[in-house]
Structure 1
Amino acid sequence: MRLVIDYTPAVHQGAGIGRHTRELVSALAPLTGDSTTTLLVFGRSDGPLPQPPAGMSLRVIPVPNRWLTIGWHRARMPLPVELFAGSHDLYHASDFVLPPVRKARTLLTVHDLSFLTVPQCADASLRNYLAGVVPRSVARADHILADSQATKDDLVRLLRTPHDKVTVVTPGVDARFAPVDDPDELRRVRDRYNIGSKPFVLGVGTLEPRKNWPALIRAWTILRQTTPLPHRLVIAGGKGWLTDEIYSTIDRSPSREDIVLAGFVADADLPALYSAADVFAFPSLYEGYGIPVLEALACGTPVVCANNSSLPEAGGDSALLVDALDVNQLAVALQRLIEDQPLRGVLRERGLHHAARFTWRRSAETLWRTYHQVLNG
């Protein structure tokens, strides 16, 4: 098999889809055998390029991704990807959008349909672009990959995609996500991100509307104003878009001095950060999967998350589920997870068991089988 994978997000995005692509491709590498695998990167990287996994090659196309987007999807220029990747058997578009392909069979990963389900959470220009391009890409692709059953259901319901055209490849949890007990490591992470010594509630994710951070801030403020609990609130994530409500909600909180915006957290620091938290909270309005929920469970941290989209899949029976829009319900769940020690113990054990089922190796095996099915179809 001559396989080409769009590796662009793995190089240009630190978190989210970038990390998903890096982890999945790394787990795929040992399975490819005698196949030829090219990782295609559009646009120059500002930093050093990553080493490709063993047995794979990296090819950088020094054309800005924005130019290709305009040419391929706005101007509809029929420049086949083979001009950049050479002749191949199978092309895997890993990030929502399928370029023109002349002969190869094609797979397209659609991580979520948030631009349709929660359109108010996306930048208008990006929302309009995706709403035009993704349905066309889904229709053209030979097969679709979804991160969750919820996303598959959305594809079938919203884009009328045939049920048998979509395969669910759930994300995995890297083995480094495990409980961290070393006090020096826990102290180092607290110091690095200016958290201090107080216990804390943690949220992880980009600062953007879909993550619903204002609801968490308001729920945590209720907790601080109505109980003697001293917990800080730490939100770890890079600055995204439409952030005004997040900052104004912080400014209005009487306990704002105990809110820490930690910024982007390095992958290597996440296990200790999850482990240091008393509770992990993820009240997102919509998720294609919600990998942070699995990562927190794998680190033994009790989780409260929203009861929508794919999050019940991610949390299983190991998380407390709440209405993402009900801040009082979220505040009650936070207090319960902090104070109810027997419940914390039960959810910790369930969470460790649940998260252990999700490995990138298992994800890669499903992906590899799907490659062969599409190629032979």
Structure 2
Amino acid sequence: MRGKGVARYLAEMLPRLAEVDTHLDLVVLAEVAASLPPGAEGLSRQAINPRPASVWEQVGMPRAARSGRLGLLHSTSDRLPVATSTPLSLYLFEDPKYREAMSGREGGVRHRVAGALVRGLFPVSLRRAGIVMVSSEATRADVLARGVSDDRIRLVYPGVSPAFRPAHDAQELAAIHARLGFPDGYVLHFSSDDPRDNSRVAFEAYAVAFAREPSLPQLVIAGPVNARAAEQRAFAESLGILDRTHWIGYLSGEALLEIYRGAAAYIDPSLYEGFGFQVAEALASGTPVVCSNATSLPEVVGQAGVLVAPSDVRGFASALAELATGDSARWREAGPQQAARFRWESTARETVAAWEELLA
């Protein structure tokens, strides 16, 4: 599920930008064959060919700005064009320093080349951007550490789609459990091939919690099933929980909404999040959350979930057993209230306000 933040940002932001009252003429640079998301059809668009990405960012983007006589370029890329006189605005989910390290350790040649480009261009991007919008206070701290002055940084939280909501009643919950084949409910964890997911801690915590509380629902792992799944199965077997662990693959649409909505608890021991979308979506779905206290997650969770150090297996186990088998009414009420702080309408308004400020 990780890595979809920018796509989610564009899909949710463009329709909201179309609704913002502003004197600015907003133009979307889009491929000829690309369709804008529903609700964004009223925005002006300019056809582009953004491939290869590195050439587009450094050559195509400035050319598009000149030909379209654009007064400002806004991007979510950490490789802004170096040679352009057009003012630049950057939206940053996270500092790419972690991805740079990962490219060197685990990536192939393509990833190492991409990492080298980012290492060279990201510091320049930060210097060139008139305004750097960040997705969290944690990302703001990373940007400040890069030497960007605070007066050029704007905190603009992303939103959570209103499609993420709690189950209406026990009947809806039971129907979800029946469709998924888990009549007694389940504990949910998202995993991918990104080590930041810290999934081993989730497995270990579940094993400890189950040993302590045998009524704990089964563990469901959502996310792409890849080479790491075999490693996870072997690890689950070594912990004695293989028969209680189920990999259900990548989810989207209604299936994604339901998997959140039906969970007895959501566990996320992530090591790094620029903005914790999955935690925010779980909260909005009324699912009790236990997650790590690293980077942006305390901002996202507030008082609506349990925070644990990312390496504290026993801390996660205790919280998981309590959330999944105890009285969850408090958490199911607090989660949606906290998630309501993050609205795409606010993201769009604050983004346009930053653009207007930069162009004033």
Give the TM-score normalised by structure 2. 0.86
SS of residue matched to 1:358 = coil
Identity of aligned residues (%): 28
Alignment partner for residue 61 of structure 1, among 45, 48, 52?
A: 48
Separation in structure 2 between the aligned mates of residue 190 and residue 208 of structure 1, nearest angstrom: 28
* Map of 1:275 onto structure 2: 261
- Alignment partners' CA distance in 1, 2:355 and 2:342: 20
Alignment partners' CA distance in 2, 1:219 and 1:375: 51
What does 1:58-207 correspond to in 2, within 5 Å? Answer: 58-64=45-51, 67-69=52-54, 71=55, 79=59, 81-85=61-65, 86-100=68-82, 102-113=84-95, 115-116=97-98, 119-120=101-102, 123-124=106-107, 125=112, 126-157=114-145, 159-181=146-168, 194-204=180-190, 206-207=192-193
One-letter amino acid matched to 2:86: A
Answer yes or no: is the 8 Å Cα contact 1:186–1:272 preserved in 2: no
Whole-Å Cα distance in 1 between the matches of residues 228 and 117 of structure 2? 17
Three-state SS of the structure 2 residue aligned to 1:36 is: coil
State the shift of 1:18 in Å: 1.0
Q: How does 1:1-377 map to 2 (within 5 A)?
A: 15-31=4-20, 33=22, 35-41=24-30, 50=37, 53-64=40-51, 67-69=52-54, 71=55, 79=59, 81-85=61-65, 86-100=68-82, 102-113=84-95, 115-116=97-98, 119-120=101-102, 123-124=106-107, 125=112, 126-157=114-145, 159-181=146-168, 194-204=180-190, 206-238=192-224, 246=232, 248-341=234-327, 344-376=328-360
Unpaired runs of 5+ residues, structure 2, are none
Q: Mind listing any 5+ residue stretches in structure 1 that lack a counterpart?
A: 1-12
Secondary structure of 1:31's aligned partner: coil
Which SS does the other structure have where 1:280 is aligned?
strand
8 Å contact kept, 2:286–2:332:
yes
Aligned length: 351
- 1:76-100 C-alpha deviation (Å, 9 max, x unpaired): xx62523235320111012322124
Whether the aligned pair in 2 keeps the contact of 1:123 and 1:241 (CA below 8 Å) is no
- 1:272, 1:240 → 2: CA distance? 23
Counterpart contact for 2:91–2:134, Cα < 8 Å = yes
Deviates more, 1:358-367 or 1:307-316: 358-367
**Alignment RMSD:** 3.0
Shift of 1:36: 2.8
Deviating more after overlay: 168-177 vs 143-152: 168-177
> 1:221-265, CA deviations, whole angstroms, 9 ceiling, x for partnerless residues?
222233312411122223579777545433534211322222221
What CA deviation, in whole Å up to 9, does each residue of 1:252-308 have, x standing for no partner? Answer: 342113222222211333332212000011110010110221211112111101001
CA distance in 2, matches of 1:97, 1:239: 30
Q: Is the 8 A contact 1:208 1:240 kept in 2?
A: no
Q: TM-score, normalised by structure 1?
A: 0.82
**Equivalent-residue separation in structure 2 for 1:357 and 1:337 (angstroms):** 23
Distance in 2, matches of 1:320 and 1:276, equals: 19
Pick closer, same or farther for the CA change 1:264–1:184 going to 2, 3 Å. Answer: farther
